[in-house]
């Protein structure tokens, strides 16, 4: 794999309406870290900070993300308060869990590789049950339809939500809360209905994928149908078995990634005694941020509707300014998310492959080889959705349905651990 080309010039300084530059000068780095130049170059030689040459100069720029991570790590070693603050910024583990471990090869669900489970054809239902209980059932497990007492179409119509919805995650949050009303959710633990409630949530969210495809309505589950098949039908792909299989793979791969913002929010809600419906709604709302789940919307904006010429111009801009791309270079997977590579490889095998998907695959190869832009899960999902010809925002909907399984697992675990998450703030003055 070739190294990135030298930067032609640095981006302009950040302003209130412009994001911070991705690369810093040597003087800026020395000021941020409070170290000497020799120490900085030691960090570079050890691979802790990425250095990029400036074209036409002997100077180098340094990746801001690496510098900030190193600063947070340094602060975390300076005392208890600083250590706690550093842990909140991609720092040291702060919560004990038996659900998911992040490894260089992707997440392991209770000791089993998510990628291997997906490649083996394990159903999303079996993986969800495994996350919730720690017991792997029949790997082809299907659920019986779980009825709901609301009409999702009527709920959204009453709120005046236009179709197709522009904000998938908020829609999912609303529906997750609604199916727990008026008092169903308050007794699912004491009544021993957590499994039924969990299945109900996922099947309902899967049916909400129907709001993305004409006639824009809720698609309820039917007997003998998998969640992947329900989503395939809801997104307008009928009963196509290849699409069902690939959607199942995506659901399995996305189900959990430890303490993402959404999962952490779900655990906080569970620690306060909230029911599963509220936990998922909290998780969905946190996942709706532009820096997390909505990164798939940004990836769609980047890849959808672009031909090779426009994508080449985007590559030139990326190379010139070192601009971050949404959905790329995840801190846990600096060379790309292994799960995203699985989805991108599967997308490339689809025949016939839609022309936009061909352009997207070309762009991803060029970005990786020449710009050190390595794909994350959002990009993998968008690429797969494009290859399958699914409607806009399908990638985000898949991500949301799948991640709800992990949020439920963490909510259940947090309730068992039985303590309220209530960190203290360090007052810094007026």
Q: Give the model's pLDDT for residue 245.
A: 97
Global pTM? 0.79
| The pair of three-digit structure tokens given for residue 122, joined into one six-digit string | 């394990």
Same domain, 230 and 261: yes
Could you give the CA distance from residue 41 to residue 49 in angstroms, rounded to a whole number? Answer: 9
Same domain, 232 and 148: yes
Distance of alpha carbon 143 from the chain centroid: 25
Q: Which runs of E-coded beta strand occur in 134-263?
A: none
Q: Give the model's pLDDT for residue 138.
A: 86
188, part of any domain: yes
Same domain, 385 and 269: yes
Same domain, 55 and 166: no
Q: What is the dihedral of CA 312, 299, 12, 91, to 10 degrees?
A: -130
Contact assessment for residue 267 and residue 414, using Cβ atoms and an 8 Å cutoff: yes
Residue 284 belongs to what domain range?
110-430
Three-class SS of residue 106? strand
Same domain, 150 and 252: yes
Same domain, 305 and 425: yes
Residue 299 in this model has a pLDDT that exceeds 50: yes
Distance of alpha carbon 134 from the chain centroid: 23
58: Cβ–Cβ under 8 A, 6 or more apart, which residues? none
Place of tokens 């307008």: 236
Place of tokens 């003087």: 27
Number of domains in the chain: 2
Phi, psi dihedrals of residue 336, rounded to the nearest 5°: 105, 145
Residue 160 in this model has a pLDDT that exceeds 90: yes
Q: Give the model's pLDDT for residue 316.
A: 80
Q: Give the model's pLDDT for residue 248.
A: 98
* Upper half-sphere CA count for residue 344 (Cβ side, 13 Å): 22
227, part of any domain: yes
101, part of any domain: no
| The pair of three-digit structure tokens given for residue 346, joined into one six-digit string | 């599967």
Q: Give the model's pLDDT for residue 16.
A: 37
Q: Give the model's pLDDT for residue 132.
A: 96
Same domain, 39 and 128: no
Q: Give the model's pLDDT for residue 185.
A: 57
123, part of any domain: yes
- Residue 19's pLDDT band (boundaries 50, 70, 90)? very low
Phi, psi dihedrals of residue 147, rounded to the nearest 5°: -70, 155
Same domain, 227 and 348: yes
**Last residue of one domain, picked from the residues 37, 65, 94:** 94
Beta bridge partners of 108: 101, 113
Please report which residue ranges of 337-393 form alpha helices under DSSP H: 338-349, 355-371, 377-388
| The pair of three-digit structure tokens given for residue 228, joined into one six-digit string | 């992947």
* CA separation, residue 115 to residues 220, 253, 254, 256 (Å): 29, 6, 10, 12
Place of tokens 């992040």: 102
107: Cβ–Cβ under 8 A, 6 or more apart, which residues? 100, 101, 114, 256, 257, 258, 339
Contact assessment for residue 263 and residue 283, using Cβ atoms and an 8 Å cutoff: yes
Q: Give the model's pLDDT for residue 92.
A: 60
Same domain, 8 and 131: no
- Which of 14-18, 82-86, 406-410 has the largest mean confidence? 406-410
Q: Check which CATH number belongs to the domain holding 398 and give it.
A: 1.10.580.10
**Last residue of one domain, picked from the residues 51, 67, 94:** 94
Q: Give the model's pLDDT for residue 83.
A: 54
Same domain, 130 and 189: yes
117: Cβ–Cβ under 8 A, 6 or more apart, which residues? 109, 127, 252
Could you give the CA distance from residue 110 to residue 256 in angstroms, rounded to a whole number? Answer: 11
100, part of any domain: no
Could you give the CA distance from residue 346 to residue 246 in angstroms, rounded to a whole number? Answer: 8
Q: Give the model's pLDDT for residue 108.
A: 97
Average pLDDT, the chain: 85
Looking at per-residue pLDDT, the higher value among 379 and 304 belongs to 379
Three-class SS of residue 182? coil
DSSP letter assigned to residue 7: B
Secondary structure (DSSP) of 318-334: HHHH----TTB--TT-T
Percentage of the chain lying above the pLDDT 70 cut: 84
Mean pLDDT value of segment 165-186 = 84
| The pair of three-digit structure tokens given for residue 129, joined into one six-digit string | 């049950």
103, part of any domain: no
Same domain, 88 and 122: no
Three-class SS of residue 237? coil
Give the gyration radius of the chain's Cα atoms.
22
Residue 12 in this model has a pLDDT that exceeds 60: no
Same domain, 180 and 310: yes
393, part of any domain: yes
Could you give the CA distance from residue 375 to residue 298 in angstroms, rounded to a whole number? Answer: 13
Mean pLDDT value of segment 41-45 = 87
Q: Is the dihedral of CA 345, 349, 350, 355 positive or negative?
A: positive
**Last residue of one domain, picked from the residues 69, 94, 119:** 94
105, part of any domain: no
134 conformational bin, left if phi > 0, alpha if psi -120 to 50, beta if neither: left
Q: Beta 23-24 vs 100-103: how paired, if at all?
A: unpaired
For 50-83, the pLDDT digits (tens) are 888 776 677 788 888 888 888 877 766 555 555 5
Place of tokens 């197709």: 164
182: Cβ–Cβ under 8 A, 6 or more apart, which residues? none
């Amino acid at each position: 794999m070739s190294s990135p080309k030298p930067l032609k010039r640095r981006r302009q300084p950040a302003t209130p309406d412009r994001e911070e530059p991705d690369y810093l000068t040597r003087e800026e780095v020395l000021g941020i870290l409070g170290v000497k130049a020799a120490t900085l170059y030691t960090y570079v030689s050890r691979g802790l900070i990425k250095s990029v040459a400036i074209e036409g100069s002997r100077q180098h720029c340094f990746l801001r993300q690496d510098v900030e991570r190193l600063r947070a790590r340094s602060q975390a070693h300076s005392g208890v308060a600083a250590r706690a603050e550093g842990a909140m910024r991609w720092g040291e583990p702060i919560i004990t869990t038996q659900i998911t471990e992040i490894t260089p090869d992707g997440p392991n669900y209770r000791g089993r590789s998510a990628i291997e489970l997906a490649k083996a054809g394990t159903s999303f239902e079996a993986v969800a049950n495994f996350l919730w209980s720690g017991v792997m059932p029949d790997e082809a497990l299907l659920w019986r339809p779980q009825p709901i007492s609301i009409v999702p179409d009527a709920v959204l119509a009453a709120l005046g939500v236009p179709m197709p919805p522009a904000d998938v995650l908020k829609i999912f949050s609303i529906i997750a809360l609604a199916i727990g009303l008026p008092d169903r959710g308050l007794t699912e633990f004491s009544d021993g209905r957590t499994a039924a409630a969990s299945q109900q949530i996922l099947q309902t969210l899967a049916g909400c994928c129907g709001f993305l495809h004409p006639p824009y309505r809720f698609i309820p589950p039917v007997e003998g149908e998998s969640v992947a098949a329900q989503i395939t039908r809801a997104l307008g792909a009928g009963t196509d078995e290849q699409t069902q299989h690939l959607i199942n793979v995506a659901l399995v791969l996305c189900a959990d990634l430890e303490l993402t913002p959404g999962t952490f929010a779900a655990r906080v809600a569970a620690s306060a005694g909230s029911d599963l419906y509220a936990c998922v709604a909290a998780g969905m709302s946190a996942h709706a941020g532009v820096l997390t789940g909505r990164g798939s919307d940004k990836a769609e904006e980047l890849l959808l509707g672009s031909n090779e010429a426009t994508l080449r111009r985007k590559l030139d801009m990326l190379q010139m300014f070192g601009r971050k791309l949404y959905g790329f270079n995840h801190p846990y997977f600096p060379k790309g998310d292994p799960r995203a590579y699985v989805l991108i490889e599967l997308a490339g095998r689809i025949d016939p492959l839609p022309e936009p998907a061909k352009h997207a695959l070309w762009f991803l190869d060029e970005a990786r080889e020449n710009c050190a832009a390595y794909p994350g899960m959002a990009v993998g999902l968008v690429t797969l959705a494009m290859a399958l010809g699914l409607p806009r925002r399908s990638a985000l909907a898949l991500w949301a349905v799948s991640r709800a399984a992990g949020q439920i697992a963490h909510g259940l675990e947090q309730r068992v651990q039985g303590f309220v998450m209530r960190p203290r703030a360090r007052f810094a003055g007026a």
